[in-house]
Amino acid sequence: MYKRILVPTDGSEFAKKAQLHALFLAKVSNAEIIALSVSENHFINGISMTEEVEQLNQILKNRCEEDLKEFEDMNNEGVKISSVIKEGSPANVILDVAAEEDVDLIVIGSSGKSGFDRFILGSVSDKVVNAAKCPVLVVH
């Protein structure tokens, strides 16, 4: 049923649960997984890059690489996994990669946010569910 499954990962417990679901679905569907990690910076475009900002961005990218490596280590089923690291707003990047890679399914962890944070910031999974052009499985 599925050929290409997109799995955003951020190292959270919800993302790890989503990864397990994606691995199962990929195995039974003989699908490949595209593991995505988004390095989100909160800096305004156009600001000159200072050494501190460059160091912070490198730390964020290193964390993304660690998250993807951990996910690949979970794969004891022999599922084909390709890794992608992008920078930007997580929900927008997820939607862009889903369209670029022509995925059949997005498997994403719920944010775990509640109350005021969820009201003000929204959640990445909510934004993806409401804007995706393919099915989305949200794992809590």
CATH code of the region 4-42+50-139 = 3.40.50.620
Separation of alpha carbons 11 and 31, rounded Å = 23
Dump pLDDT digits (tens) for 83-128.
Answer: 999 988 899 999 999 999 999 999 999 875 555 555 555 689 999 9
Dump pLDDT digits (tens) for 12-37.
Answer: 889 999 999 999 999 999 999 999 99
pTM of the model: 0.84
Domain extents for the chain? 4-42+50-139
9 pLDDT higher than 60 = yes
Calculated CA dihedral for residues 40, 57, 107, 79, nearest 10 degrees: 170
